[in-house]
Amino acid sequence: MKRDFLTVMDLSSNELNILLKRSIDFKKGIDANKCPLIGKSIGLLFEKASTRTRISFEVGIYQLGAQAIYMNPKEIQIGRGETLHDTAKVMSRYLHGVIIRTFSHKTLEEFARYSSVPVINGLSDKHHPCQALADLMTILEKKGTLEGIKLAFVGDGNNVANSLIEASSIAKIKMKIACPKGYEPAPDVLKRANGYVEVLNDPLKAVENADVVYTDVWVSMGQEKEALMKRKKFKKYQINKKILERAKKDAIVLHCMPAHRGEEITDEVMDGPQSVVFDQAENRLHTQKALLEFLMS
């Protein structure tokens, strides 16, 4: 029976631990010559521009022995009105899995409903579960544990925040989110948090004594019309030296990137000794390799 990965909640606690352990093994070079997906073809259907998601998936697919086929909707028939239903069924005849990066999460769910091969969420407006896997791996790598870690997320309660909430509830991370009123994470996601997440409006309180400080852009792709308004509302939610001083001295700083330096994070913090954002970006490759192997081998 095929498995999809549309949200972090598609994994059990045990499966999440297995994936993280396998990711660390991949990073160490264990089974570096093993090609569990040899002879397979995996599609990447991207409505949104990408740097880390596209490159890490294409490289990971190649390293696992498979072939990556990148598809822009404008270059295939879905861009001329072919239905998701028909597209999913046809692609299932050619491919062994599909990674989709899209705007609407409903598009992803509909495609997965008609696909007979695994579908992976490379990003949607509501969830970014592949990013959350890399985030957990980075925290585990730097802190040696996940359970009981205090994670502060400062900024917009967006798709990254939603997936972090789900990941935190499974991994038993204590998470605090600081965002302006009206920009809280999705209510249905918060309901599933099992008491591991607290939503605040004060970034200083959220960061207090944190082991991990995380931020993301204030204006996501597709929100450009709201840019000026959001920058005004989020001004006090910037991760800078003053805010970081409220966290533990050995706190690490995460950012899923791309970063709008000078907005949600300063250069001083982004390039500072507590920043592990480039390790975090690299870990996208390792966690996605583990996920591809888990779903498609």
Looking at residues 259-272, what average pLDDT do you find?
97
Active-site entry in 128, 135, 211, 288: 128
Is 284 tagged catalytic? yes
Same domain, 236 and 290: no
In a domain, 152, yes or no: yes
Same domain, 182 and 213: yes
Which residues form the domain of 182?
129-280
126-184 pLDDT, tens per residue?
Answer: 999 999 999 999 999 999 999 999 999 999 999 999 999 999 999 999 999 999 999 99
What total of structural domains would you count in the chain? 2
Residue 172 burial (CB count, 10 A) = 14
Active-site entry in 4, 135, 156, 216: 216
Whether the pLDDT of residue 90 is over 70: the answer is yes
Looking at residues 243-250, what average pLDDT do you find?
98
Active-site entry in 131, 238, 280, 288: 131
Q: How far apart are CA 182 and CA 167, in angstroms?
A: 23
Active-site entry in 4, 284, 286, 288: 284
Q: Which residue has the tokens 């913090």?
A: 269
In a domain, 257, yes or no: yes
Same domain, 137 and 232: yes
Is 52 tagged catalytic? no
Same domain, 242 and 182: yes
By DSSP bridging, strand 97-101 and strand 119-123 are parallel
Active-site entry in 52, 54, 96, 101: 101
Nearest of 156, 128, 153 to residue 139 by alpha carbon: 153
Whether the pLDDT of residue 225 is over 80: the answer is no
CATH number at residue 80: 3.40.50.1370
Is 131 tagged catalytic? yes
Whether the pLDDT of residue 224 is over 80: the answer is no
Same domain, 56 and 46: yes
Whether the pLDDT of residue 76 is over 90: the answer is yes
In a domain, 2, yes or no: no
Looking at residues 97-118, what average pLDDT do you find?
97
Same domain, 141 and 276: yes
Active-site entry in 256, 280, 286, 288: 256
State pTM to two decimals. Answer: 0.97
Is 192 tagged catalytic? no
Q: Tell me the helix, strand and coil percentages in the chain, rounded to 5.
A: 45, 15, 35
In this predicted model, which residue has the larger pLDDT, 34 or 27? Answer: 27
In a domain, 1, yes or no: no
